[in-house]
Amino acid sequence: MITLYDYELSGNCYKLRLLMSMLGVDYKTVPIDFYPGREHKSEWFLKINPLGQLPVIDDDGLVLRDAQAILVYLASKYDPSGTWYPRDEAALLGEISQWLAFADGITGTASAARLHDALFYDFDVEAARVGAHRLFRILDEHLWFGEQEGRIWLCSAAHPTIADIACFPYIMLSEEGGIPRQDYPAIRRWCDRVKRLKGFMVMSGVFPAGPAKAA
């Protein structure tokens, strides 16, 4: 069974819970006292992840860190449909990797602003907000042009991929860092599509979508 070293308010932990819920994978969690206890920097945890970061999973002795890397692993191993991370489609894999890196950029900006505002992290919040808006603008245009071409997910496929899961959490939580999404209508529509996927689950601060309007 998979063990997830977890912190409830972490968007990077949430994206793993989300994918596992959508894949129907059983897992258990070990709550880490990330805040205020800084247990992820404790001696015992640094032996599991010397970077002192969450999330980490342990799948029958295979220990993996880094949210994006773990998404790749989970989809490769536990998705019988092979659509979340299609191993044989080179171009699509390239696109997915591109958006996984983009998700790290969102963590470095939107998530940093949230940690500053809610949990008193000593970050340059103005720089973090400007950085997040720059990424959101790029993403919104990408999604808007995609909608014109009939593409409703981040990558060029008729189905969502782990790229969508990777980018979703810290976009949804951006308002807690003082980053409103009013100016990004295509992002808001895409967020609602993610929320309507089978197996979707919430985390604290993320609410379920209302029922879709009939076209």
Q: Is residue 120 within the footprint of other proteins (CB under 8 A)? A: yes
3-state secondary structure of 31: strand
Contact region for other proteins (CB under 8 A) — 11-19, 57-65, 76-84, 119-127?
119-127
Distance CA 52, CA 44 (A): 10
Taking CB under 8 A as the criterion, the residue among 17, 56, 57, 117 binding other proteins is 117
Nearest Cα neighbor of 76 from 57, 93, 63, 61 is: 93
Residue 30: strand pairing partners: 5
Site for other proteins in 52-111 (CB under 8 A): none
Taking CB under 8 A as the criterion, the residue among 16, 32, 74, 112 binding other proteins is 32
**Sheet-wide strand order for 56-59:** 27-31, 2-6, 56-59, 62-65
Closest CB to other proteins among residues 100, 110? 110
The total number of residues written for the chain in this structure: 215
Q: Is residue 21 within the footprint of other proteins (CB under 8 A)? A: no
Q: Is residue 43 within the footprint of other proteins (CB under 8 A)? A: no
Q: Is residue 36 within the footprint of other proteins (CB under 8 A)? A: yes
Gyration radius (Cα) of the chain, Å: 17
Shortest approach of other proteins to residue 117 CB, angstroms? 6
Distance CA 210, CA 88 (A): 36
Which chain residues interact with other proteins by CB under 8 A?
Answer: 7-9, 31-33, 35-39, 117-120, 122, 175-176, 204-205, 207
